[in-house]
Chains A and B, each alone.
Chain A
Amino acid sequence: MSRKTTLFERMDHSTGVKAVESVGRAAMERASLGGRALLLFIDTIYQLPKTARSLPQIFRQIEICGIGSLFVLALIAFLTGMIMALQTGSELLKFGAQNNLGAIIGATFVREFGPMWAAIIMLARVGAAMAAELGTMAVNEEVDALRVMNINPVRFLVLPRMLALIVSMPLLTVIADYVGMFGGALVASYVYGSPFDQFLDSARGILGNLDFYSGLAKSMVFGAIIATIACDRGLHTTDGAEGVGRSTNQTVVASVICVLIANLMMTGFVQQILKPVFE
């Protein structure tokens, strides 16, 4: 009476099928979280006409996230610039091309390192803090209290944070660009004997307006991404202190991934589409 079983029936349901199921479930959850964050971003844009009412909170957030991150970012950019110059310079020296250090360091910082370092510092320092702060407010019913007082939490909490990051990021990026190049120029000058002027001329030779402004545009997009993810995770925090920790962790991980994906897409757009048009 025994019948032949199909391959599907013989499959071990505790491994293969369950693995596919869990991957599918995780993908659906991520998509759902992404959709929710996108809706929050749209809702925040919708609140833009009410920006004037949030000006005090915006300035406070700029102070917290922008000015508070300045020293750390400058230090990291300075050290990175010096390390890059040391690494690259030793190779260029073999070909006697150490005078091109400015072009390499300048292009790397203005196009990539400036906005990326600003984003990484912001998401680690400010994004995580935002998620933790809003998460604590959510579990302490402070967000509910705002709602029952007819105060829109998106206008009151999210809009100032997002605008503060969008405004702060380009400023921090410019500082990272210049401090990083300064670190590189120091090494070029004192280690490889390439004078400051030579370093700057080399950088100016390769960098155009498009590089500078696309770097700033990138940083603004990164700021919007970090603020959206941090506020979304924070506002939807549940389960007390454990939930706050989880939201903070998710904010950092999701922000890193989304910022890198956005960077890839924008770099592709600038290099492949804008650059041939403008240069």
Chain B
Amino acid sequence: MNQMTRDQMEAAAPLAAVPADQKSLIEIRDLYKSFGRRHILRGINLDVIRGETLVILGGSGSGKTTLLRHLMGMLRPDEGSIAVHFADSTMRLDRASHAELDAYRDRLGVIFQGAALLNSMTVLENVGLPLVEVRRLPPQVVYEKVIVALQKVYLPAGEILHLKPAALSGGMRKRVGIARAIVQEPELILYDEPTTGLDPVTVSGVNELTLDLQKRLGVTSVVITHDIHAAFIIADRIAMLYKGRIIAIGPKDEFRAHPNPVVQQLLTGSTQGPLTEAFLQGQAT
């Protein structure tokens, strides 16, 4: 297992075939992105199957956030394509116009690492923000939809509706962030490090909530994280991003037994291995 050469460890995994009875929602092909001389994404090929929860694991600096920002439509690739196949239309994020991006984001929910709630607004205003500002719904409809969204994430709407984010615990803030993401009933949800910085009990709560939403809403989810434990709870499939490439992808059991030493080091949390060497190399350069 440890006899792999560096090139073999860093080589992109073959594109996993989408099962015949399923369809891919997102198709990423040969995605490259550099910032100056730093090559962040170096040929990403990935399919996200409709209705699945795909967890993308990776260490610091592996390109996770850059990939996520491409999926949010906030970055354009230097090369390659990102196609999103909704039931009624296909969008190419790599060359989308402003109007197309707006249409895409109407069907997208994003859960940010720190929840990204607006501190000057109450929970009601935060969760209802896209309904008021984008859909311009009347206040009573917004109020009802916010209550429903808060109930879906098991928050006591009556108690927290008029509180500001600073008055909430970390776990509650995260749940409010999730409520804001699902209030527009998105078809695709992107999670950016959903469990980072939370205590173990809250982490379990967020994991259960993610699974629960997946079952009840049937949305497609892409989760970017380095939390191995959470990944094995919530994922249908797990992919590993390393030095800008997907080096391993597959269902949980398959991923757990992957022969690549990089994957094994991440799974075991060992301080000895290629991930540590790559990190030290990065520090030295």
Q: Enumerate chain A interface residues (CB-CB to B < 8 A).
A: 53, 136-137, 140-142, 144-145, 147-151, 156
Do B105 and A145 have beta carbons less than 8 Å apart? Answer: no
Do A148 and B72 have beta carbons less than 8 Å apart? Answer: yes
Do A151 and B112 have beta carbons less than 8 Å apart? Answer: no
Instruction: List the 3 shortest-distance A-B pairs measured between CB atoms, nearest first.
Output: A145-B116, A141-B116, A149-B130
Q: Is B106 an interface residue (CB 8 A)?
A: yes
Contacts of A147 in B (CB 8 A): 72, 74
- 19 A-B pairs (CB sep. < 8 Å): A140-B114, A141-B112, A142-B116, A144-B72, A144-B112, A145-B110, A145-B116, A147-B74, A148-B72, A148-B74, A148-B105, A148-B108, A149-B134, A149-B180, A150-B134, A151-B130, A151-B133, A151-B134, A156-B133
Contacts of A136 in B (CB 8 A): 119
Contact of B133 among A140, A142, A149 (CB under 8 A): A149
Q: How far is the CA of A141 from the CA of B68 in the complex (A)?
A: 13
Q: Which among A140, A141, A148, A150 has the greatest number of chain B C-beta atoms within 10 A?
A: A148
Contacts of A141 in B (CB 8 A): 112-114, 116
Instruction: Give the secondary structure class of A's interface.
Output: helix
Q: How far is the CA of A141 from the CA of B130 in the complex (A)?
A: 16
Q: How far is the CA of A244 from the CA of B117 in the complex (A)?
A: 18
**With A141-B114, A144-B112 already in contact, 14 other A-B pairs whose C-beta atoms are closer than 8 Å:** A137-B118, A144-B72, A144-B116, A148-B72, A148-B73, A148-B74, A148-B105, A148-B110, A149-B130, A150-B106, A150-B134, A151-B129, A151-B134, A156-B133
Contacts of B117 in A (CB 8 A): 142, 145
Q: Is B254 an interface residue (CB 8 A)?
A: no
Given A137-B118, A141-B113, A141-B114, are A149 and B105 also a contact pair (CB < 8 Å)? Answer: yes
Do A144 and B130 have beta carbons less than 8 Å apart? Answer: no
Interface string of B122-159 (1 = CB under 8 A from A): 00000001100110000000000000000000000000
Q: How far is the CA of A204 from the CA of B88 in the complex (A)?
A: 72
Looking at the assembled complex, report how far the CB atom of A137 sits from the nearest CB atom of chain B, in whole angstroms.
7
Q: How far is the CA of A141 from the CA of B117 in the complex (A)?
A: 9
| CB closest chain-B residue, reference A148 | B110
Do A150 and B130 have beta carbons less than 8 Å apart? Answer: yes
Contact of A145 among B102, B112, B134 (CB under 8 A): B112
In B71-127, the 8 Å CB interface with A consists of: 72-74, 102, 105-106, 108, 110, 112-114, 116-119
Contacts of B105 in A (CB 8 A): 148-150
| CB closest chain-B residue, reference A142 | B116
Contacts of B108 in A (CB 8 A): 148
Contacts of B113 in A (CB 8 A): 141
Contacts of B116 in A (CB 8 A): 140-142, 144-145
Q: Enumerate chain B interface residues (CB-CB to A < 8 A).
A: 72-74, 102, 105-106, 108, 110, 112-114, 116-119, 129-130, 133-134, 180
Q: How far is the CA of A24 from the CA of B105 in the complex (A)?
A: 42
Contacts of B72 in A (CB 8 A): 144, 147-148
Contacts of B102 in A (CB 8 A): 150
Q: How far is the CA of A149 from the CA of B73 in the complex (A)?
A: 11
Q: How far is the CA of A177 from the CA of B163 in the complex (A)?
A: 41
Looking at the assembled complex, report how far the CB atom of B41 sits from the nearest CB atom of chain A, in whole angstroms.
19
Q: Which among A141, A147, A150 has the greatest number of chain B C-beta atoms within 10 A?
A: A150
Do B134 and A144 have beta carbons less than 8 Å apart? Answer: no
Contacts of A53 in B (CB 8 A): 133
Q: How far is the CA of A147 from the CA of B116 in the complex (A)?
A: 12
Contacts of B114 in A (CB 8 A): 140-141
| CB closest chain-A residue, reference B109 | A148
Contacts of A140 in B (CB 8 A): 114, 116
Do B133 and A144 have beta carbons less than 8 Å apart? Answer: no
Looking at the assembled complex, report how far the CB atom of B87 sits from the nearest CB atom of chain A, in whole angstroms.
20
Looking at the assembled complex, report how far the CB atom of A142 sits from the nearest CB atom of chain B, in whole angstroms.
5
Q: How far is the CA of A141 from the CA of B69 in the complex (A)?
A: 12
| CB closest chain-A residue, reference B135 | A150
Q: How far is the CA of A243 from the CA of B130 in the complex (A)?
A: 28
Contacts of A142 in B (CB 8 A): 116-119
| CB closest chain-B residue, reference A136 | B119
Contacts of B106 in A (CB 8 A): 150
Q: How far is the CA of A40 from the CA of B282 in the complex (A)?
A: 36
Looking at the assembled complex, report how far the CB atom of B97 sits from the nearest CB atom of chain A, in whole angstroms.
14
Looking at the assembled complex, report how far the CB atom of B219 sits from the nearest CB atom of chain A, in whole angstroms.
15
Looking at the assembled complex, report how far the CB atom of A80 sits from the nearest CB atom of chain B, in whole angstroms.
34
| CB closest chain-B residue, reference A143 | B116
Q: How far is the CA of A53 from the CA of B73 in the complex (A)?
A: 25
Q: How far is the CA of A144 from the CA of B74 in the complex (A)?
A: 8
| CB closest chain-A residue, reference B136 | A53
Contacts of A144 in B (CB 8 A): 72, 74, 112, 116
Looking at the assembled complex, report how far the CB atom of B185 sits from the nearest CB atom of chain A, in whole angstroms.
14
Looking at the assembled complex, report how far the CB atom of A45 sits from the nearest CB atom of chain B, in whole angstroms.
18
Looking at the assembled complex, report how far the CB atom of A146 sits from the nearest CB atom of chain B, in whole angstroms.
8
